[in-house]
Structure 1
Amino acid sequence: MTDLKLIALDTEDLEVVSAHAQDAVVRVADMGYARKNQRFALLMNRFAWESDTPRGKGVRKRAALDFRGVTHAAYAGFDPAAPEGVLELLTIGFETTDAPSGIVELRFAGGGTVRLTVDCLEARLTDLGAAWAASGKPAHVLD
């Protein structure tokens, strides 16, 4: 399976990145905002939805998600100072405020969110090479 290297510069690109990051498991200790560098990054164990193991439990891959041009980061619904915390990423969205500026929102299961104020949308999702068999395939209850 080929490692992903994706960049998002508009909302359509971000939808692709979001789809590949859906159901990623993230340790709170593995995310952070570097104010001086205007970057927010996190490491994740993403579920490789694109893997070709339809009957198996699937594959997880170690990946990095990086946002540039970040001027502010806000957290809600979880304690960002709790390094043992684990979150499950559901979706990533972008709302324009004063083009090209806007708000990137990472939404996690259980109601947790990270809101990033950005000068413009620039996100990168990069697989880091490590891959292993998933313990199970994520499933969602649909209303």
Structure 2
Amino acid sequence: MTDAKFEDGAEQPLRLMAADMDDLQVMSALTQDAVFPGNEMSFRKSERRFALLLNRFRWEDKTAAERRGRDFERVQSVLFVDDVLGVQTQGVSRDEETVYSLMSMAFEAGEDGMGRLILTLSGDGAIALNVEALNVSLKDVTRPYVAPSKQAPGHDD
């Protein structure tokens, strides 16, 4: 018997849940550099649910794409945050022309499991979700497609 490798899940759609800081760290890494227009986010106050439709870079497939010499891929994914009590934004417009890049997700714990989930966007944008508990899910909803740039995202150090 051999241990599972990261690449073993490369061809399957992601379906992940985050209920603690370790889970969120993994989800944050897999959603880094996901892009979305400002009109693809919604907060349903009565359901206490925030949703964001992302075009996610497939970090889990990057090594396999490099090894096989094929183009990098993106996939549409939905990020759901449940148990949301309120949403605050900074430097975020809800129009369809403005495209954002998700850089990271972090949780600032409060009392009794409550806290703030911070979605940091490239530039100066941020989305803060006041939550009753950390309850985040990510689900791929389309088949992967060739990344328009055919490149992996890069960051200046």
- Runs (5+) with no aligned partner, structure 2: 1-10
Deviations 1:53-93 (A, max 9, x none): 1254411011000000000000101223x232110000000
Q: Give the distance between the partners of 2:112 and 2:21, measured in 1 at CA.
A: 12
Match of 1:92 in 2: 105
SS of residue paired to 2:141: strand
- AA aligned to 1:131 is P
- Runs (5+) with no aligned partner, structure 1: none
**Bigger proportion of residues as helix:** 2
Match of 1:124 in 2: 137
Q: Give the distance between the partners of 1:86 and 1:115, measured in 2 at CA.
A: 18
Q: Which has the larger radius of gyration?
A: 2
**Bigger proportion of residues as strand:** 1
Q: Percent identity?
A: 33
Match of 1:138 in 2: 153
- State which drifts further: 55-64 or 25-34: 55-64
Q: Give the distance between the partners of 2:71 and 2:99, measured in 1 at CA.
A: 21
Match of 1:53 in 2: 65
Match of 1:3 in 2: 13
- AA aligned to 1:138 is P
Normalization by structure 2: what TM-score? 0.86
Note the aligned Cα RMSD (angstroms): 1.1
Normalization by structure 1: what TM-score? 0.94
Q: Give the distance between the partners of 2:133 and 2:91, measured in 1 at CA.
A: 25
Match of 1:109 in 2: 122
- State which drifts further: 30-39 or 48-57: 48-57
- AA aligned to 1:139 is G
